[in-house]
């Protein structure tokens, strides 16, 4: 995909070459969870032996690979925009895309504000990646022989895009609306962000898109949703822990990055709800300060640890993982795919990055 688009871009003007090179560098990393869930969602609805599959199945598999790849490109677009919204400096151990464009501005001797140039260019690159994603997903879906399967997959993809965009906006709102909310309301709204920004988008939607492409029954789709939503919640809760306590050499992001960005995650809200008033004021005063020192970050980390919130979030992760596993018991899904999905539960929830 990038190679094909690079040829087009190079024919437009040499100045747009970074759009291809930055995209390639960005897409090279990542865990490919969405592609994996799309593939195993498709496989879970099948009864064939993949080693004995005929030409029709091979064509369907090629379509699934296109769509799975398109989901990864969409995720890359979302991360470009997410880093811009959060003013993040790094992603996957490398400069965030808007920071790359800032450096390009300075290295090229351009006039004007480098940060403004970086933001504008990153928005455009994210939009371009979304366009590439839609192209690739569309190609895959159009190649399906069953028009009902194609329509179902397309509808799920469109709903996924709506959910994650709304979830991203809700996340933006909650970072600013918290003084107007009770602790209970803040927690409930944080759960809503987890559901739409991450859980449905990261696990449920890719599973269902893949299954729909294979012509899955309503019972199969229901089982995959019952598996995907709690696993997606566990996935995001693990991210919340890593955003505060993760090893930067492993996560590719600075230690305590979520604290600098002011993320009012379930972890932070659970801590804030159980600590004395003085410690609450400390969190409220420091959280989101872009100039937090290492000592202040460590102070916030220790405050969160002492609150017991880490243990509560770990229990929530375990409970949601157990719920996801239970959803597959007796489900009308292909047994080999179920085995792989169960293996992915541990991969998603026990990860260090």
Name residues whose C-beta falls within 8 Å of residue 101's C-beta, 6 or more positions apart in sequence: 18, 22, 117, 118, 121, 122, 125
* CA 228 to chain CA centroid, nearest Å: 14
Residue boundaries of the structural domains of the chain: 2-349
Question: For 50-54, 78-82, 111-115, 212-216, which range has the lowest pLDDT when averaged over its residues?
Answer: 50-54
Asked if residue 52 has pLDDT above 60, the reply is: no
Report how far residue 144's alpha carbon sits from residue 58's, in angstroms, rounded to the nearest whole number. 11
The model's pLDDT over 244-303, given as tens digits with 9 standing for 90+, comes to: 999 998 888 888 999 999 999 999 999 999 999 999 999 999 999 999 999 999 999 999
Name the CATH superfamily housing domain 2-349: Farnesyl Diphosphate Synthase (1.10.600.10)
Q: Distances from the Cα of 65 to the Cαs of 15, 68, 220, 304, in angstroms?
A: 32, 5, 21, 42
pLDDT given for residue 309 in this prediction: 97
The model's pLDDT over 306-351, given as tens digits with 9 standing for 90+, comes to: 999 999 999 999 999 999 999 999 999 999 999 999 999 999 999 8
b or e along 37-47 (b: 16 or more beta carbons within 10 Å of the residue's beta carbon)? Answer: bbbbbbbbbbe
User: Span 228-236, mean pLDDT?
Assistant: 97
pLDDT band at residue 53 under the 50/70/90 scheme = low
342 and 328 Cβ atoms separated by less than 8 Å = yes
Kindly tell me the burial class for residue 337, based on how many C-beta atoms sit within 10 Å of its own C-beta (0-12, 13-18, 19 or more). Answer: buried
The model's pLDDT over 63-76, given as tens digits with 9 standing for 90+, comes to: 999 999 999 999 99
pLDDT given for residue 51 in this prediction: 59
175 and 264 Cβ atoms separated by less than 8 Å = yes
The most distant pair of C-alpha atoms in the chain lies apart, rounded to whole Å, by 67
Helices within the chain (DSSP H only) = 2-12, 17-27, 33-44, 55-86, 97-107, 114-142, 147-177, 183-193, 205-213, 218-245, 248-251, 257-261, 266-272, 277-286, 294-307, 309-328, 335-349
pLDDT given for residue 50 in this prediction: 59
pLDDT given for residue 54 in this prediction: 73
Higher pLDDT, 52 or 280: 280
pLDDT given for residue 28 in this prediction: 83
pLDDT given for residue 27 in this prediction: 87
The model's pLDDT over 156-195, given as tens digits with 9 standing for 90+, comes to: 999 999 999 999 999 999 989 999 999 999 999 999 999 9
Kindly tell me the burial class for residue 296, based on how many C-beta atoms sit within 10 Å of its own C-beta (0-12, 13-18, 19 or more). Answer: middle
**Percent of the chain scoring above 90 in pLDDT:** 84
**Percent of the chain scoring above 70 in pLDDT:** 98
């Amino acid at each position: 995909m990038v190679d094909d688009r690079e040829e087009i871009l190079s024919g437009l003007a040499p100045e747009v070459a970074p759009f291809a090179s930055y995209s390639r560098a960005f897409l090279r990393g990542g865990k490919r969870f969405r592609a994996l869930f799309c593939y195993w969602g498709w496989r879970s609805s099948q009864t064939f032996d993949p080693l004995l599959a005929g030409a029709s199945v091979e064509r369907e598999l090629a379509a699934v690979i296109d769509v799975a790849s398109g989901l990864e490109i969409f995720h890359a677009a979302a991360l470009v925009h997410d880093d811009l919204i959060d003013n993040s400096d790094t992603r996957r151990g490398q400069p965030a895309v808007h920071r790359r464009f800032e450096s390009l501005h300075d290295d090229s001797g351009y006039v004007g504000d480098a940060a403004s140039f970086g933001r504008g260019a990153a928005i455009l690159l994210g939009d371009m990646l979304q366009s590439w994603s839609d192209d690739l997903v569309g190609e895959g879906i159009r190649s399906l022989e069953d028009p009902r399967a194609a329509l179902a997959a397309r509808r799920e993809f469109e709903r996924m895009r709506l959910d994650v965009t709304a979830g991203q906006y809700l996340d933006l709102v909650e970072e600013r609306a918290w003084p107007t909310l009770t602790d209970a309301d803040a927690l409930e709204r944080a759960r809503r962000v987890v559901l739409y920004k991450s859980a449905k988008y990261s696990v449920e939607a890719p599973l269902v898109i893949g299954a729909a492409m294979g012509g899955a029954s309503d019972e199969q789709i229901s089982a995959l949703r019952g598996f995907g939503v709690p696993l997606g919640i566990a996935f995001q809760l693990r991210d919340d822990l890593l955003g505060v306590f993760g090893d930067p050499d492993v996560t590719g992001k600075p230690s305590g990055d979520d604290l600098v960005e002011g993320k009012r995650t379930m972890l932070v809200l659970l801590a804030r709800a159980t600590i004395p008033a003085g410690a609450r004021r400390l969190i409220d005063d420091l959280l989101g300060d872009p100039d937090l020192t290492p000592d202040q970050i460590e102070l916030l980390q220790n405050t969160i640890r002492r609150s017991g919130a880490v243990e509560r979030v770990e229990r929530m992760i375990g409970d949601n993982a157990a719920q996801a596993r239970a959803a597959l018991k007796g489900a009308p899904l292909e047994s080999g795919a179920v085995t792989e999905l169960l293996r992915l539960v541990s991969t998603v929830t026990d990860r260090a990055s």
